Chain A
């Protein structure tokens, strides 16, 4: 085990106020620590010096909850492919490195404090159609609804999205298309989701626009940054599903579109 001596440039900000970078020296960081453990060590030292610790989001620390965020050296979740910040290890850095740590920046993700941003815009998009309406009561038999293996596998790929927001953070337009397309596509693909496909697609896209995310310019930075490697082909599908739903809405009977609130 070796120790790293790092220099951090960390974004400090209180909600609604302008922020700034704070230079923090982080000597003697064990290289087997995860990035969040490194932040814990830094915070312990700040607290023992009577300074305010750096606020950052985290929960499961095993790469599945989607809470950890952080733009590390210009890339969401840091330099490792298909890896969340909590699964990034300090052995990926060299002693003497300067590490820039910023929050995910987007108008739709306002900073709550330091590196913590409010990602509830994603929840409102989900509420606008990212669900299947089911009756209450006993569930039907598990095998009553045949689903092809290919469809089940593809839906599972989309369902791997943990809603962390790295796609928004990586996109030069802060577009949420990868998230929305994965969430809509997963259900649009499955027989359980098909009946509500059009209203789901219209509802989720409209809520996405309302939240102030940017527009997709097909550069696929989102796919490169996604810790779950969600494919941009889901965006292709969302574009297609949206076009079909919009035409049906214009020419056919109007579906009632759910709203995710403001």
Chain B
């Protein structure tokens, strides 16, 4: 037991071990980000669709499903963030004296700013949870947001109205759009990067992973920004 624990410790202490954890948690978060966007796009199918979907998530496994998902995502985010901060600190320490001239020949701006896009996203996630999950500083949890579905006659939370009202306020919409742009940037490097760290990339597959990463990043941005923009600028549902 302790020998296995030692090995785990040693794995985390190593540069490659930490990177593999970052890649695996990144993969989990990529899966989540995709599912989250697809679910949210149900807003364009009307109040019944998205409110039923919200109710389904809340009541899956007798209400336990959402907590299992939350625990898994929290663990993934914590490992992803703690490991990358520790790696970044080691990276800074590895070059104490900066070059007067240092020319990047092939790396993208997105890849050079992963820590900053990542930390801004962390702040966004906190804001996003306070906004729509904990509902602090708004009345999204009040009786005004109870909805009776046509199909089943359940009373459920009115996710539809909450999202419409949430994005009717310009500052929130702008912050969401900035966060999605940074997520797009983060994914454009992170997606293909994880295949390299997990030892999967080959000369033939690497260009495909790269293109898939750009496409995925663009898709996530387009899908999520469509919700914000159609409500905020084009008055969808208002």
Chain A interface residues (CB < 8 Å from chain B): 9, 19, 21, 71, 73-75, 100, 102, 105-108, 170, 172-175, 205-206, 208-209, 212-221, 223-225, 231-233, 235-243, 246, 249-251, 254
Query: What band does the interface of chain B fall in when counting residues whose beta carbon is under 8 Å from A?
Result: 35 or more
CB atoms of A172 and B104 under 8 A apart? yes
Q: Which residues of B contact A208 (CB under 8 A)?
A: 15
> Which residues from chain A contact B8 at a C-beta distance below 8 Å?
250
Q: Is A233 touching B201 in the complex (CB atoms < 8 A)?
A: yes
Let me know if B103 and A73 touch, CB within 8 A.
Answer: yes
Q: Which B1-37 residues have a C-beta within 8 angstroms of A?
A: 3-4, 7-8, 10-11, 13-20
Also in contact, A209 and B106, with CB within 8 A (given A217-B114, A218-B197): no
Q: How far is it, in angstroms, between the C-alpha of A239 and the C-alpha of B87 when the chains are bound?
A: 16
Indicate which residue in A219, A231, A240, A249 contacts B111 across the interface (CB closer than 8 Å). Answer: A219
Is B101's CB under 8 angstroms from A71's CB?
A: yes
Instruction: Give the Cβ gap from B107 to chain A, nearest Cβ, in Å.
Output: 4
The CA of A219 and the CA of B210, in the complex, are separated in Å by 12
Residues of chain B within 8 A of A19, CB atoms compared: 97
B-chain residues with CB within 8 Å of residue A212 when the two chains form the complex: 93-94
Closest to B107 in A: A219
Contact A240 B199 (CB under 8 A): yes
A223 contacts across to B, CB distance below 8 A: 106
Rounded to whole angstroms, the CA-CA distance of A218 and B8 in the bound complex is 24
Q: Are B4 and A251 in contact (CB under 8 A)?
A: yes
Q: Check B90 for interface membership: any CB of A closer than 8 A.
A: yes
CB contact list, B103-130 vs A, under 8 A: 103-108, 111-112, 114
Complex CA gap A207/B63 in Å reads: 49
Say how far A252's CB is from chain B's closest CB, in angstroms. 10
Q: In the bound complex, do residue B105 and residue A75 qualify as a contact, i.e. CB atoms below 8 Å apart? A: yes
